[in-house]
Amino acid sequence: MIGFYILIGVISLVSWLISNTLKKKFDKYSKVSLRNGMSGAEIAEKMLADHGIFDVKVISTPGRLTDHYNPVDKTVNLSEAVYNQRNAAAAAVAAHEVGHAVQHAQAYEWLTMRSKLVPIVSVSSQFSQWLVIGGLILGAGAGQTGFGFTIAVIGLIFMALATAFSFITLPVEYDASNRALAWLQNKNMVSQQELEGSTDALKWAARTYLVAAIGSLAMLLYWALQVLGNRD
């Protein structure tokens, strides 16, 4: 038990450090102006056009680091700063989100798998832990094989789906970054200094997903031990 709490504490600390570093990196590379003078929105639109994608809209969305691609309505949503600014950080984020649009257009298998899990995980993740705890209270922790144990196992299955979703997200995010950086370099959209900044920014962004996946797995293993480890 103590070891688990230490592990969760370490994961939480690492997550905070990476998140804090990510913000600092984006602040740093937001000061590296693009030599081509293009805004994040213009970068996104050009990358879409270069890949022959003309049914995806680039729009501005409120907030900071709220950038995302929505496959349902086919929109590349860029935070206000990324949409309007003309720097290495904005170029990296804009190209990364278009990378997801390219994945969608090319039916990238990991993105397809992830998209299928979204509606399931969005519901199951809200109840998984409560189902496990409820099952334990009803007697699963004491080795029962009745109703309480069944409820707890259902909770574990929901939790496992969320964990699988976290790990499936990793290749999706890394691939989108690779597509973005390859396009920025091959099309000479950025200088070497700008490319290095974009690469570093996306590297730290990817690490947030990695830590989240590890944290999800740790929680799954802990609750699995609580439910299954105490059976007779």
Residue-wise pLDDT for 87-111, tens only, equals 999 999 999 999 999 999 999 999 9
φ/ψ bin of 161: left (φ > 0), alpha (ψ from -120 to 50), beta (otherwise) = alpha
pLDDT band, residue 40 (cuts 50/70/90): very high
Write down the pLDDT at residue 1.
Answer: 62
- Give pLDDT, residue 84: 95
How far, in Å, CA of 89 to CA of 73, rounded?
25
Q: Taking a C-beta distance cutoff of 8 angstroms, is the pair 18, 60 a contact?
A: no
Above 70 in pLDDT, residue 230?
Answer: no
Contact 51, 99 (CB under 8 A): no
Task: For residue range 176-187, list pLDDT tens digits in order.
Answer: 999 999 999 999
Taking 60 as the threshold, does the pLDDT of residue 144 lie above it?
Answer: no
User: Is 165's pLDDT higher than 70?
Assistant: yes
- Mean pLDDT for the stretch of residues 122-136: 88
Going by C-alpha positions, the residue among 94, 154, 97 that lies closest to residue 130 is: 154
pLDDT at 231: 57
Q: How far is CA 121 from the centre of its chain?
A: 14
DSSP string for the chain: -HHHHHHHHHHHHHHHHHHHHHHHHHHHHTTSB-TT---HHHHHHHHHHHTT--S-EEEEESSSS--EEETTTTEEEEEHHHHH--BHHHHHHHHHHHHHHHHHHTT-HHHHHHHHHHHHHHHHHHHHHHHHHHHHHTTGGGT--SHHHHHHHHHHHHHHHHHHHHHHHHHHHHHHHHHHHHHHHHTT-S-HHHHHHHHHHHHHHHHHHHHHHHHHHHHHHHHHHHHHTT--
* Average pLDDT of the residues in 10-33: 89
Taking only Cα atoms into account, the Rg of the chain, rounded to an integer number of angstroms, comes to 21
- On the question of pLDDT at 140 being above 70, the answer is no
What mean pLDDT is reported for the chain?
A: 90
